[in-house]
Amino acid sequence: MMAPTARVATATKDVLLNRQRRSRRRRLPLTTVAALTWLGALFTFALLQPTLPLPSPTAQNLLARLTPPWGFGGSITHLLGTDHLGRDLLARILAGTRISVSLALLGMLISALLGTSLGIVAGYRRGVFDQVVGFLIDFWLAVPFIAIAFVALTLFGTGMTVLIPLLGLSGWEQYARVTRANTMRVRQELYVLAAHGLGAHPARIVFQHVLPNQVAPLLVMATLHLTSLILLESSLSFLGIGVQPPTPSLGNLLGEARNYLQIAWWFPFFPGMTLILLTLAFNELGDWLRDVTDPAIRGRR
């Protein structure tokens, strides 16, 4: 048998290890801190762009076209230089970031609401509705969404009224699959069966027991999905079928800059780096949320 002193030492060691694990979980990783700092600074300046002492993002000045950034032969009036029409690049990047993220956020909310609703109803009611939703998910996964986007934007135009619903239809099947599986699991729990046996209304069971169990995975999915929607909107705008000039977005800024790669390096560099860092920051935030909310990963820390 273990001596009392050894048992006390082992228990003390376990307590210290548990405290260290809790302390590590409370501390944010440096990469997550950097991502949150970058996102906070970028969104703050993007939202305040109309009030900042910067030129209008749509104001043209052909006499100042392709002016290099400040410190590379340019002036402090245009910190990041100008584009091919003399428009201030910093103002256009901030305005484009606000528009790109706003479109992606609206698309993510539509997609999450649609997919979550279908997934919960299909997982709870089962039957024919579940089969129809399963068929729609399989069909949506089988067809390349970029092809659907090309057809829709060609037929209905490239306005915001078409682009936002189109973004909302991208990725809804992922929400539906996850919420359907979680709903099928939760509906077999004893407390849900007890509530059903006591005559509780299905809507009450869904809102009180099923939906709260979806919050953690949906939060992680929404963060990662936002990244894919930003890239999708940027890709469509880069190809000329998304946000139309002179309204700036990160995608059409890169689309306009592709013809000036050799003579104006700053024109594609700064919008491209903004897009890269934006997507990396959202991915890092999504990974951190997954680690925090996943019990299997949290238990190993």
Q: Is 157 left (phi over 0), alpha (psi -120 to 50) or beta?
A: left
Checking if the pLDDT of 281 tops 90, the result is yes
Cβ proximity of 78 and 60 under 8 Å: no
C-alpha triplet 31, 37, 43: angle, nearest 5° = 130
CB 92 within 8 A of CB 50: no
> Residue 254 and residue 257: Cα distance in Å, rounded?
5
Can the peptide bond before residue 246 be classed as cis, meaning omega within 30 degrees of 0? yes
- The CATH number of 46-299 is which of 1.10.10.10, 3.40.1160.10, 1.10.3720.10, 1.10.8.60? 1.10.3720.10
Query: Residue 14's pLDDT is what?
Result: 52
Q: Which residues pair with 82 in a beta bridge?
A: 88
Per-residue pLDDT tens over the stretch 71-124 = 898 888 899 999 999 999 999 999 999 999 999 999 999 999 999 999 999 888
pTM of the model: 0.84
Two structure tokens written together for 228:
């894919």
CA-nearest of 99, 101, 75, 79 to 88 is 79
